[in-house]
A and B are shown apart, each in its own frame.
Chain A
Amino acid sequence: MKRLKLAAPVLLVYWAMLLGGLGLYAVIRMDDASLRSLWIGALGGTFLGQLLALRNVRSVVAVIFMFLTACWLGAVLPSEVIDKRLWMAFGPAAVCGYLSLGDRASLAAFWFPAVIWMLSILDRTGAHATPDRSGMILLGGLAVMFFVFMRAREARRIRLWQNVAVVPIASELPAKVLREATGWHIARAGWTVLVAGLAALVTALIAPGMWQGESFDGEHVSISRPRNASGRPCCPVSYDLPSERGRVKEYFDMGRGHDEIAQPMIEGIDCDACTGDGSYTGTYAYGHDNLGTPSYVPTGPAIDVPAGPYHPHGTGGGYTYIPPSGSYSSPGTTYTPGYREPPAASTTRDGVGQQPAPVPSAPSVAPPSSPPQVATAPPPAITAPPQPAPQPPQPAPVDPPRAAAIDPPAPAPAPSSDAPPPPRSTASTIAPKPTSTMGPSLVRLLAVLVACALILQLIALALRPLRRWFVLRHLRRPFWKETVDQQVSNSWQLALVGLRDAGWRPTSDEAPRELARRAGIDGLEQCATILERARHGLGVDAGDLAEMNRSADVAYESARSKLGGGARAASWLRWPLA
């Protein structure tokens, strides 16, 4: 039991870190049922490791026991729970739980809770991106938890040092502070805040610089064609392209990074825009991650392309479907198909009759749910316009189309030197559509709660001078009627307040006159004499009461006269008063 009592603070902090990280990630990914094995592995492993440490089991024996327990769990747990993630969590959790009560392995013990927290911090972080604001806050919070954990461990080590040794240890009696230095508490609190904040800031700033990205193939997604800056239709309305996911590397491969499109077709290189009037060649100037929508820069005159419906090919580029002419009312939001009356006997430059364009089919993108966003604007989204029902093409009044389908044209001629060549390896990004707003709002809620707690503390601190004024006023001149003995006691309390301001602290077994002798403050001896007379039931008359009041005032002023301005100001913020 004593062993448990000594270890309690460390266990508390460690479990708070672990449960906090798991809970946060569970809220972020509420819909993910695969987290169950993570929870079981993390909690079960930590419990086992710490239990073995509390029983003082040697490390080799502990590892063997962990292995046997894992084998047993593999036999008894239901199959839907048993997966790679369970064992990936169980092993490190057990080892780190064991090390959390170890001698010199605090940093190693901290690794597993850090892994759990990193799942939330890195959620929706791109492979080459830094975490968003909520991620940075969580990273700073992780650093603060590290310091709390280190402090708890050191406190336990000190208690062990004072109680456990190979030589007999003397039993220590409670310490007594006889006189303290004034104004020290503020400096101490400031140091704690400074160091914790500094380290949190340093970690939040430089840790992301070391993270490495990894990428892996994602599913095919459909995206809409980026808006043409000129407003004129371009080639295919929608692309069916494979997406590539990028995220920061971590122990658990369950993070959701940013989706990137492999290689959309480049206007003027992989395809040409075709309309009833012709097609446009040009280049798309794609930006980097999350930058503005690409703009279409036509580079050449229209070329003759037979009108007709075309469908884009798979991933190889080219298209067999010609989008109708039309315009986008705003970047990437809705597409309003245009309509043109087919000319009676129109001859275009290329001799191709115009066709009223069918509404393009542009299935909307179904992005995965977004990470919790606190206050960042989502990157420019390229959302597909809604899918209107396709209309059968109107037959050309003049000439039937020469070809119902057309093979994709040859690779477009080299784009004009005026337009910047699009980087082929640069992909546009799909901004994830948030399916749940719990993530960002949770962090916001936590931040609000912390802010409220801080504000309450500040209010309580600000009210202390007022409280002190009222108490001192009552001690000097009671607000209500009190007995003589109580008034004597009040005066003594007033003197003690002055002594406490000067740093003098009476001990529990110290008589008032002993305190007066020790402190050597004017007026205190007189106060102590009258007080002891009152306490022993001897008569205290009006003269004694007046003398007591006067001496208490003198003692109060005399004790505070030795203080500097700062200490005097700090004394107004101190509570309790004596």
Chain B
Amino acid sequence: MPGRWFRIASLIVPSAIAAKFVRADERILHEVAPVLIMLWILMAGVLMMRYVETRELRRRTMASPWVGIDVLTSTGVSMLWLGAGALLLAGKTGWASLSVVGILGLGTTYLVTAWTGLMACGYDRWRSARVDRAIVPQVTTEGEALREELKISGIPIPAGMRLFISGTAMKHGVTSRYVVGAESSRAEVALSSDLGPGLRGEHDAPPMQIWLGDVFGITRSPIIEGGEATFSVLPRPAAIENAKKLLGSGGDAAVASPAQQLPSEGTFRIREYVPGDDTRRIHWVRSAQQDQLIMRLPDEIPPADPVVRLILDNELPVVEPMTSRAPDELLDALVRVWLGIGKSLAAAGTRVVLVTAVEHNGKLRRVERTLFPRSAHEALRVGMRVTWQDQVSLDTLTGKREAKQMKQIVVTGRPRRTHHGEDLSWVVVPEGVWTTPEPTLPEISATTHPFPSGAPENRSAERVQERKRIEKMWQDRMLFTHLVGWTDWSRYSGHHVARPAMGDQSRITLGAIP
């Protein structure tokens, strides 16, 4: 933590340099030094007290004791160094203005630091504080706007200070930042901000960072955390065009051929109910008579009612620590396509069983859910919980014994050889189509800053850090592209690829792989 050590050293070094090298005029020593020394001693005493307190609480808070005295901001550090420099220059040049500037700089910093150490540091002041955070609506659909609502109460904000709160609700979401002035000390304040469209998944919003800062920007208190929240964003199934062709041609099974019957003729076929039968065909009278469910079979020969296992392939290792947004975007697209195909097939009368691997009771396992057209909520909840995993393989998802009799459609980002590859029908969701490129490296202009003057983002250290962050994102993106890349198109000829229809990602068209 080189920054922290520099900040802590700035509490001592500039003042020591000024004391050592300012011209040792007797009058100065007698008139000026004692006041500044007194202020410095006051500041040092307060900070030492905080250091001892933090050290004693180390076991409970798991925080380094140096956190208690790391109170200077970059503005405060520069005030101390510039103030000392002004005093040194005043001694050399004799200009009165430099002495005024130096005394103002050092004196103000000592006073404000002492005030912050006394009034804003320490963990006891946060005892009565309450930070209630909620993301509304708590359960919503992908793409709907989310709002963060924060309610703070009982937080003492000393005079001359402000409360700062910052946090992010979603992994790739926006950052919310709040500032509350001292006039709202111990008040109950409602803060809110728009988070934009929700991203699919079950989110545990990490706690927000909360700290106090003085009104001159010289010091700040140690950061504490609070205000966790959970919220769920259900996936939004896409509308799939021509999903039926996934089932194959099927002859004229789709065409019903009514039997030619005379009025006195007719068949009345009944049988016992089998799970999966259309409940509208239950013959209730006969069922009551026979004390069991009796189905009435139609006269017409109905089209074939196949059972389709719709498998979502979410097996992909080494994805969790990636900083790139592409893995999440591709998985969101996979879930949309998967649910969209299921919904489309179910609406057409096909029995669809959704199969994927999700965490269940703390363990990753294969999950199967029958998709009912009028009760898709359960399927949506499964889709919400889908994440990349490397514990349940595709063979496990496709290898069920009974499944061998059924048609299996695999929705995947990377088709590949499996044990049952010949029996599978693939719907490929290509990564290049469904993911957005990473942000480009910032253009460095030789003449202007990328941000307004005075923004800390213009500092060279910040620019270097930003550059490294983007480079890491691109590296992760390249790795991800390699992981999901596939080139043997010809092997999967005849299978399907999902593309947005006319650039609209909410409507998907299935095209055949040539």
- Please tell me if B194 contacts chain A, counting CB pairs below 8 Å: yes
Q: How far is the CA of A233 from the CA of B133 in the complex (A)?
A: 93
- Please tell me if A536 contacts chain B, counting CB pairs below 8 Å: no
- Please tell me if B302 contacts chain A, counting CB pairs below 8 Å: no
Instruction: Find out whether the CB atom of B28 lies under 8 angstroms from the CB atom of A55.
Output: no
> How many chain B residues touch A (Cβ–Cβ < 8 Å)?
82
- Tell me which residues from 36 to 61 in chain A have a Cβ below 8 Å from any Cβ of chain B: 53-58, 61
Select the stretch in B177-185, B267-275, B396-404 that faces chain A. B177-185
Q: How far is the CA of A425 from the CA of B398 in the complex (A)?
A: 109
Instruction: Find out whether the CB atom of A164 lies under 8 angstroms from the CB atom of B455.
Output: yes
Instruction: Find out whether the CB atom of A170 lies under 8 angstroms from the CB atom of B148.
Output: yes
Select the stretch in A172-180, A307-315, A525-533, A542-550 that faces chain B. A172-180
Band of interface residues on A: 35 or more
Q: How far is the CA of A118 from the CA of B96 in the complex (A)?
A: 8
Instruction: Find out whether the CB atom of A176 lies under 8 angstroms from the CB atom of B159.
Output: no
Instruction: Find out whether the CB atom of B183 lies under 8 angstroms from the CB atom of A184.
Output: yes
Instruction: Find out whether the CB atom of B189 lies under 8 angstroms from the CB atom of A178.
Output: yes
Instruction: Find out whether the CB atom of A173 lies under 8 angstroms from the CB atom of B194.
Output: yes
Instruction: Find out whether the CB atom of A195 lies under 8 angstroms from the CB atom of B190.
Output: no
Q: Name the residue of chain A whose CB is nearest to the CB of B186.
A: A181
Interface flags, B430-450, vs A, CB<8A=1, else 0: 000000000000000011111
- Please tell me if B104 contacts chain A, counting CB pairs below 8 Å: yes
- Please tell me if A161 contacts chain B, counting CB pairs below 8 Å: yes
Q: How far is the CB of A191 from chain B (nearest CB, A)?
A: 3
Select the stretch in B74-82, B256-264, B289-297 that faces chain A. B74-82
Select the stretch in A103-111, A260-268, A401-409, A556-564 that faces chain B. A103-111
Q: How far is the CA of A106 from the CA of B179 in the complex (A)?
A: 22
Instruction: Find out whether the CB atom of B28 lies under 8 angstroms from the CB atom of A103.
Output: no
Select the stretch in A148-156, A431-439, A566-574 that faces chain B. A148-156
Contacts A171-B194, A192-B160, A211-B96; is A151 near B215 (CB within 8 Å)?
yes
- Please tell me if B205 contacts chain A, counting CB pairs below 8 Å: no
Q: How far is the CB of B466 from chain A (nearest CB, A)?
A: 5
Q: How far is the CB of B364 from chain A (nearest CB, A)?
A: 31
Instruction: Find out whether the CB atom of B453 lies under 8 angstroms from the CB atom of A54.
Output: yes
- Please tell me if A447 contacts chain B, counting CB pairs below 8 Å: no
Instruction: Find out whether the CB atom of A248 lies under 8 angstroms from the CB atom of B175.
Output: no
Instruction: Find out whether the CB atom of B453 lies under 8 angstroms from the CB atom of A102.
Output: yes
Contacts A111-B98, A199-B111; is A162 near B179 (CB within 8 Å)?
yes
Q: How far is the CA of A485 from the CA of B195 in the complex (A)?
A: 42
- Tell me which residues from 185 to 234 in chain A have a Cβ below 8 Å from any Cβ of chain B: 185, 187-188, 190-192, 195, 198-199, 202-203, 205-212, 214
Select the stretch in B87-95, B279-287, B485-493 that faces chain A. B87-95
Q: Name the residue of chain B whose CB is nearest to the CB of A116.
A: B97
Q: How far is the CA of A179 from the CA of B196 in the complex (A)?
A: 29
Report how many A-B pairs have Cβ atoms within 8 Å: 243
Q: Name the residue of chain A whose CB is nearest to the CB of B445.
A: A58
A-chain residues with CB within 8 Å of residue B449 when the two chains form the complex: 56-58
Contacts A104-B74, A171-B193, A180-B184; is A147 near B216 (CB within 8 Å)?
yes
Q: How far is the CA of A176 from the CA of B184 in the complex (A)?
A: 10
Instruction: Find out whether the CB atom of B100 lies under 8 angstroms from the CB atom of A114.
Output: yes
Interface flags, A70-114, vs B, CB<8A=1, else 0: 000000000000000000000000000000011111111011001
Q: How far is the CA of A56 from the CA of B77 in the complex (A)?
A: 23
Interface flags, A110-146, vs B, CB<8A=1, else 0: 1100110010001000000000000000010011001
Q: How far is the CB of B87 from chain A (nearest CB, A)?
A: 8
- Please tell me if B475 contacts chain A, counting CB pairs below 8 Å: no
Select the stretch in B221-229, B304-312, B345-353, B456-464 that faces chain A. B456-464
Cβ-defined partner of A179 (8 Å) among B96, B187, B215: B187
Contacts A56-B449, A188-B183, A191-B160; is A207 near B103 (CB within 8 Å)?
yes
- Please tell me if B250 contacts chain A, counting CB pairs below 8 Å: no
Cβ-defined partner of B459 (8 Å) among A103, A122, A139, A165: A103
Q: How far is the CA of A191 from the CA of B161 in the complex (A)?
A: 11
Instruction: Find out whether the CB atom of A248 lies under 8 angstroms from the CB atom of B96.
Output: yes
Cβ-defined partner of A118 (8 Å) among B100, B160, B182: B100
Cβ-defined partner of A107 (8 Å) among B83, B186, B196: B83
Q: How far is the CA of A166 from the CA of B464 in the complex (A)?
A: 12
Instruction: Find out whether the CB atom of B104 lies under 8 angstroms from the CB atom of A203.
Output: yes
Instruction: Find out whether the CB atom of A199 lies under 8 angstroms from the CB atom of B217.
Output: no
Q: How far is the CA of A209 from the CA of B459 in the complex (A)?
A: 38
- Please tell me if B191 contacts chain A, counting CB pairs below 8 Å: yes
Contacts A103-B459, A147-B216; is A139 near B100 (CB within 8 Å)?
yes
Q: How far is the CB of A24 from chain B (nearest CB, A)?
A: 15
Contacts A207-B103, A251-B95, A251-B97; is A107 near B86 (CB within 8 Å)?
yes
- Please tell me if A389 contacts chain B, counting CB pairs below 8 Å: no
Q: How far is the CB of B107 from chain A (nearest CB, A)?
A: 6
List 19 extra interface pairs beyond A54-B453, A249-B96, CB under 8 A: A57-B448, A104-B77, A105-B82, A111-B86, A111-B97, A111-B101, A114-B100, A154-B215, A160-B452, A162-B177, A164-B455, A169-B174, A173-B147, A177-B188, A178-B189, A184-B185, A191-B160, A199-B104, A249-B95
5 pairs, CB–CB < 8 Å, chain A vs chain B: A114-B97, A142-B100, A168-B175, A188-B159, A203-B100
B-to-A contact residues, CB < 8 Å: 27-28, 30-32, 35-36, 74-75, 77-79, 82-83, 86-87, 90, 93-101, 103-105, 107-108, 111, 115, 147-148, 151, 153, 159-160, 162, 174-180, 182-196, 215-217, 446-459, 462, 466, 469
Shortest Cβ-Cβ A-B pairs, 8 listed = A209-B31, A191-B159, A212-B94, A249-B94, A210-B99, A154-B217, A104-B78, A181-B186
